[in-house]
Amino acid sequence: MTNTPSNCLITALIALIVSAVLTTFTACAASLPDNDDELTMKIGQMIMVGFRGTSLEEADTIREDIEKLNLGGVVLFDYDVPTRTPGRNITDPDQLRNLTRELQSIAKTPLFIAVDQEGGRVARLKPKYGFPETVSAEKLGTLNNPDSTYRATLTIAAALETAGINMNFAPVIDLDRNPDNPVIGGLERSFSPDPGTVSSQAAAVIRALHEKNVISSLKHFPGHGSSSTDTHKDFTDITGSWNKTELAPYRSLIENGYNDLVMTAHVFNAKLDPEHPATLSKPVVTELLRDSLGFRGVVISDDMQMQAIAGHYSPEMSVRLAIEAGIDILLFANNSSYDPNIARKAVSIVRSLVNSGTISPSRIDSSYNRITALKQRHFSAPQ
């Protein structure tokens, strides 16, 4: 087409309109709602985010997110990955306790305050900050004494309780099917390749956490132990390595009444879903975990900003698929990349999906009710 003056004018106008639309979308996505409407309050409970700051005064936007979005939870880290600096949220026991008190004091609905305190190499509350030494799952599994595991976990649970942390992303119940797995076996995060050992060890961990009123989270469903790549970094396909025995610990624990949280993995398994990784898969989350295994608790995603998801799906697509799959809490750790507006963007996306009719209000209610039930059970327990 020849660029006549009129064509150039039309092109320029189109460019201006597109620019205005994109600017408006970005502004809306980063803005807070004007009022405390019921839909926003329910969606807010479905969002958990990470943030920077060792006190509320230092934190970016987390105060507004908690107060105006009714944010469901936060996740804390001792190290900020994007800037490669320590002291992100955790520097010592007194500072951490003050931070969690501040966070809870501004919340309309009590917050889930979570960490990854598995023990061994995955521990945010480290001895160098003044917290107790911990033992890896692999060492405990090798010892294979549930009483020893209970006592080791009780030390962790007591430290979490004192710190005001009420949720631990543990235990890992992935089977150690690949000892060289860079994110599970290679980091000593699995108790054992034997499902019976994993089940009994995990039960001891859960019992100890509950002793101190700390919520547990089984991970990473439907099994990450056989992978040879890391979902933090890219697409991870376990189609050829996964085995149904990896479901055995989930089945055992659920049949014995487990109903805290299950965290999904971002692994792709064409045997279970030929299109989407587990976190975004209705066949995995709803049909397998809920319908087949009978899980009635809260399902939380692994970090939605990991490259296995963020590198292959837009935020709008990944959030939609996760909710349609059956995810109750969308976790944005905000520590592979950092966006201070991530919570309000996530809420905006979910609101748009409901307003457009893509997601039904009843679907939001289902997650909200499960989250509320878990919070009522936890926060009504003796503190």
As annotated, the active-site residues are 232, 302
Per DSSP, 291 falls in state: I
Kind and range of the H or E element at 43?
Answer: helix 38-45
pLDDT in tens, the chain (383 residues): 333 333 433 333 333 333 333 333 343 344 555 445 999 999 999 999 999 999 999 997 999 999 999 999 999 999 999 999 999 999 999 999 999 999 999 999 999 999 999 999 999 999 999 999 999 999 999 999 999 999 999 999 999 999 999 999 999 999 999 999 999 999 999 999 999 999 999 999 999 999 999 999 999 999 999 998 767 877 789 999 999 999 999 999 999 999 999 999 999 999 999 999 999 999 999 999 999 999 999 999 999 999 989 999 999 999 999 999 999 999 999 999 999 999 999 999 999 999 999 999 999 999 999 999 999 999 986 55
Query: For position 235, what pLDDT does the model report?
Result: 77
HSE value, Cβ hemisphere, 13 Å, CA-based, for 158: 10
Helix axes 195-211, 146-163, angle to 10 degrees: 40
**Residue 46: CB atoms within 10 Å:** 27
Contacts of 191 (CB under 8 A, 6+ apart): 137, 138, 140, 141, 171, 172, 173, 176, 197, 198, 201, 202
Contacts of 283 (CB under 8 A, 6+ apart): 272, 273
As a whole number of angstroms, the distance between CA 192 and CA 140 comes to 9
Query: For position 4, what pLDDT does the model report?
Result: 37
Query: For position 26, what pLDDT does the model report?
Result: 40
Does residue 144 contact residue 197 with C-beta atoms inside 8 Å? yes
The CATH class that applies to domain 37-379 reads: alpha beta
Query: For position 28, what pLDDT does the model report?
Result: 39
Contacts of 61 (CB under 8 A, 6+ apart): 51, 340, 341, 343, 344
| Token couple for 53 | 């700051």
pTM across the whole model: 0.90
